[in-house]
Amino acid sequence: MDLTKSGIKILVPKSPIKSRTAVDGFQNESPENPDPVEQAQEDSVPPEVTAEKPVGALLGPGAERARMGSRPRIHPLVPQVPGPVTAAMATGITVNGKGECAGASPFMDALTANGTANLQTSVTGVTAGKRKFIDDRRDQPFDKRLRFSVRQTESAYRYRDIVVRKQDGFTHILLSTKSSENNSLNPEVMKEVQSALSTAAADDSKLVLLSAVGSVFCCGLDFIYFIRRLTDDRKRESAKMAEAIRNFVNTFIQFKKPIIVAVNGPAIGLGASILPLCDVVWANEKAWFQTPYTTFGQSPDGCSTVMFPKIMGGASANEMLLSGRKLTAQEACGKGLVSQVFWPGTFTQEVMVRIKELASCNPVVLEESKALVRCNMKTELEQANERECEVLKKIWGSAQGMDSMLRYLQRKIDEF
């Protein structure tokens, strides 16, 4: 009996290219909306390779169509056939497209027992049809959303301490540190951020959105990491750490595309001082900002000695840099450190609406507008970054600087 004439149809699984991870609530599409790529594939399936079951199909309770990667089927795909199978019975049965060898199921045993010799020929014909379908799909325009999904998957393997999502018109970088606590910065984290920014600078992204996973935006430098290194060779390690900070800050200074920051929680130390180097800063109502450098036993960094006085005045800048005053999100907005403050319940939605509006603009206009605003500041900021890193290297290389950081950590341990 020829399967192609018997009415037996092959069930082809849907494409698995459906899942897209959502990190910290930042998700580009609504889960209720169908995937356009999958919809296009369903519409393009030729009639001879259809997934529909004929009327009166005798399917078991586990024979519902399952997506690849979903739960395994626990019921047989076809009911067990106790006796010989006639052509009339076969017309009401649908076989899964993966196929099973003769003897692997009662249905296939029955087919073999009834002298079915054209099974291989029928399956070969269906396979040829599937290959033709794939070749036809290759000739169609490539869906960019598929490329974004692949890039997002690749980022999980490329980076350990950050998450990178390439979305339509912009790159989303999220701090999600595994090598440090509370998204604090060590040389490994800083190198990954630099790498992601370099990639975004070279691709078709119009801007970069920087945010964080969890309830903390960034706790500044990872002092535990630094102290472990400084106990070996203070002079050499302090120079290496100062160089890492210099390169990290220069990456923000020299980045030509707009950088938008979504501060979802506390921003401390270097996590707060780099904000003026970005172009727009949106903050959650629960976020707060502090640069307690004297408490840490170190000097300011991130060009804060230049940018803080520029945006909030000398008195407020000194209060933050010397006495470590903590600013609420509303206070930071009033002093110019933050552009807008949003309610926590709608923070993600507000950010994504505005990001998509910016991403719809002409990329040349965005880049040239930033260049005009920053044209007289680049050299000044690079010089300030160099001075700050030299002072940090001097402090970290001294016994007094090491003692100050140890005392700070001891106080934190006692408070805990």
Rg (C-alpha) for the chain, rounded Å, is 30
The answer for residues whose C-beta is within 8 angstroms of residue 203's C-beta and 6 or more apart is: 166, 171
What tokens were used for 374? Answer: 């920053």
Burial of 393 (0-12, 13-18, 19+ CB in 10 A): buried
Other Cβ atoms closer than 10 A to 347? 22
The 10s digit of each residue's pLDDT in 311-329 is 999 999 999 999 999 999 9
What tokens were used for 236? Answer: 């050499």
Directed axis angle between helix 223-230 and helix 399-415, to 10°? Answer: 140
What tokens were used for 216? Answer: 């903390």
Cα separation, 94 vs 235, whole angstroms: 74
The answer for residues whose C-beta is within 8 angstroms of residue 410's C-beta and 6 or more apart is: none
Active site residues: 221, 270, 301
Asked whether 53 and 59 are in contact (CB, 8 A), the reply is: yes
What tokens were used for 70? Answer: 């979903």
Directed axis angle between helix 234-254 and helix 378-396, to 10°? Answer: 160
Cα separation, 240 vs 230, whole angstroms: 10
The 10s digit of each residue's pLDDT in 332-382 is 999 999 999 999 999 999 999 999 999 999 999 999 999 999 988 999 999
Nearest to 216 by CA among 186, 181, 189: 181
**3-class secondary structure, 328:** strand
Q: With the C-alpha atoms ordered 78, 79, 82, 84, is the resulting torsion angle positive or negative?
A: negative
Cα separation, 122 vs 214, whole angstroms: 54
- pLDDT recorded at residue 409: 77
Q: With the C-alpha atoms ordered 173, 20, 170, 276, is the resulting torsion angle positive or negative?
A: negative
Residue numbers of the chain with a pLDDT score lower than 70: 1-157, 412, 414-416
Provide long-range contacts, Cβ within 8 A and 24+ apart, for 348-352: 348/24, 348/25, 348/26, 350/282, 351/26, 351/209, 351/211, 351/262, 351/282, 352/26, 352/28
Cα separation, 38 vs 31, whole angstroms: 14
- pLDDT recorded at residue 406: 82
pTM of the full structure: 0.64
Cα separation, 251 vs 193, whole angstroms: 9
